Structure 1
Amino acid sequence: MTYKGKFRVWRGDGEGGELQDYEVDVNEGEVVLDVIHRLQATQTPDLAVRWNCKAGKCGSCSAEINGKPKLMCMCRMNTFEEGETVTVTPMRTFPVIRDLVTDVSFNYTKAREIPSFTPPADLKPGEYRMQQVDVERSQEFRKCIECFLCQDTCHVIRDHEENKESFSGPRFLMRIAELDMHPLDAADRQHEAQDQHGLGFCNITKCCTEVCPEHIKITDNALIPMKERVADRKYDPIVWLGNKIRRRPS
């Protein structure tokens, strides 16, 4: 079955732009990215859109569809009514390069600020040992495809550009939590999360979890546990005293 779909697509660049209306064929079983490609092929060959795998695994085709951050290749057209106008806009949190393509370099800058896995200095490579239960704790976070939809929907940086310098966003706080859960990681991830990456800015609204295409429970399984460990270390008097004793010179 084919019908004429109504699309409203943002066109422009960093200097400005506007929403433009189009009518384009929609076939049964298609996703939004299929229709955007047809729009390129038939009406707007200069429409800029970023995509790669079309299978929900590369994270390239992130956009906002009817105001909600989604992957265009995973948003099926049968979720809309035939007469409904589908509005496609670039991710609002990041600067627009052109049309639906945004500059997501902020995320790569934040990624570089996180020290990599740091084993104890006296541990040799052949001595790395982990229990399966420890592997499973952080395995969920490895599913991240870095679509940056969680970063886009997080209101701490979406609505407050000034926070970007001191807040890394849910994707990278999740990375820090993953490393903190690793039994062989010796870096001070809790201090790093709070003082360098702005964990305290997060107010656990779970909006990042809601838009994750890999269904990672970012808030429940990474951010909240990280907040709890930071709070224990900073405010629990018994933990505070224990840390003081362990640091006491021999």
Structure 2
Amino acid sequence: MSYQGKFRVWRGDDSGGALEDFTVEVNEGEVVLDIIHRLQATQAPDLAVRWNCKAGKCGSCSAEINGRPRLMCMTRMSVFEESETITVTPMRTFPIIRDLVTDVSFNYTKAREVPSFAPPKDLAPGEYRMQQVDVERSQEFRKCIECFLCQNTCHVVRDHEENKEAFSGPRFLMRVAELEMHPLDTADRVDQAQDEHGLGYCNITKCCSEVCPEHIHITDNALIPMKERVADRKYDPVVWLGNKLFRRS
């Protein structure tokens, strides 16, 4: 079963562009990325699109479909009405390179600003021991495929370009939380999360969790616990005194 689907695809580069209308064949069981490939093959061979695995695991084909940040390879055409016009645009938060491809180097800059795992100095590789509950706690965060949809939808950077220097975004605050919750990590990441990565900018709207294709509870399980640790350290006098006396070494 097939039909002629109506699409509006953004075409252009960093100097400007516009939405263009196309009619493309849609077959049963296809996803949006299939349609974009058919559009390239039949009508727009110069259309730029980033993709790799087409299995929802590489995070490359992030875009906005009808205004919602999604992976094109995981968005089935069956969720739309045949008469519906489907709009495909690049991620709005990041600079346009061309067509559906954006410059996501902001995220790699922020990744380099997060200090790596710091185990105890007297503990050799192979001697690490953790409780299963601690493994499971951070394993959720390890599911991240770095599609950067959470970064794209976060209004702190999406709507306020001036915040990008001071705010790392949910993906990398989640990385800080993962390391802070690791029982063998000796680095003190609470002040770092607040002072260097801008945790205080986050107002927990949960938009990052809503668009995550891996269904990671970024806000509930990473950002809120980190905010609680910051609040305890700064405002709880007992915790403040304990941290002064028994700070991690």
The alignment's TM-score, normalised by the length of structure 1, stands at 0.97
Residue matched to 1:183: 183
Q: Are residue 6 (structure 1) and residue 6 (structure 2) matched?
A: yes
1:135-146 to 2 correspondences below 5 Å: 135-146=135-146
How far off is 1:190 after superposition? 0.6
Cross-structure match for 1:101: 101
Q: Which residue of 2 aligns with 1:91?
A: 91
Q: Specify the alignment match of 2:38 in structure 1.
A: 38
For 1:117, the equivalent position in structure 2 comes to: 117
What is the letter of the counterpart of residue 113 of structure 2?
A: E
CA distance in 1, matches of 2:48, 2:56: 19
1:145-181 CA distance string (max 9 Å, x none): 0000000000000000010000000000000000001
Structure 1 stretch displaced more, 183-192 or 124-133:
124-133
Which letter does structure 2 place at the counterpart of 1:242?
Answer: G
Alignment of 1:144-223 (within 5 A): 144-223=144-223
How many residue pairs align between the two structures? 247
Q: Aligned residue for 1:130?
A: 130
Call closer, same or farther: CA 1:80–1:126 in 2, change over 3 Å: closer
Which residue of 1 is the match for residue 60 of structure 2?
A: 60
- Residues in 2 aligned to 1:126 and 1:152: alpha-carbon distance in whole angstroms: 38
Measured on the aligned residues, the alpha-carbon RMSD in Å equals 0.9
Structure 1: runs of 5 or more not aligned:
none
- 1:121 deviates by 2.2
The answer for the alignment partner of 1:229 in structure 2 is: 229
Within 2, Cα distance between the matches of 1:139 and 1:243?
Answer: 27
Question: Which digits, 9 at most, give the CA deviation of each residue in 1:17-42, with x for residues without a partner?
Answer: 00000001000110000000000000
Q: Displacement, 1:240?
A: 1.0
Question: Which digits, 9 at most, give the CA deviation of each residue in 1:203-249, with x for residues without a partner?
Answer: 000000000000000000110011111111111011112223346xx
Distance in structure 1 (CA, Å) of the matches to 2:192 and 2:106: 18
The offset of 1:125, in angstroms, is: 2.6
Q: Write the distance in 2 (CA, Å) between the matches of 1:98 and 1:76.
A: 24
Listed one character per residue, the Cα deviations across residues 58-99 of structure 1 (whole Å, up to 9, x for unaligned) are 000000000000000000001111110000000000000000
Work out the CA distance in 2 between the residues paired with 1:102 and 1:210: 21
One-letter code of the match for 2:145? I
SS at match of 1:10: strand
One-letter identity of the residue aligned with 1:195: D
In 1, Cα distance between equivalents of 2:148 and 2:11: 21
How big is the shift at 1:126?
Answer: 4.0
Question: For residues 96 and 126 of structure 1, what CA distance do their matches in structure 2 show?
Answer: 45
Q: Could you list the per-position Cα deviations for residues 98-150 of structure 1 after superposition, in whole angstroms to 9, with x for gaps in the alignment?
A: 00000000000000000000012232334321111111110000000000000
Give the corresponding residue for 1:24.
24
Alpha-carbon distance in structure 2 between the residues aligned to 1:91 and 1:126: 42
Runs of 4+ in 1 over 4 A off after TM superposition: none
Consecutive unaligned residues of structure 2, counting only runs of 5 or more, are: none
Deviations 1:1-32 (A, max 9, x none): 11110000000000100000000100011000
- Letter of the aligned partner of 1:171 in structure 2? R
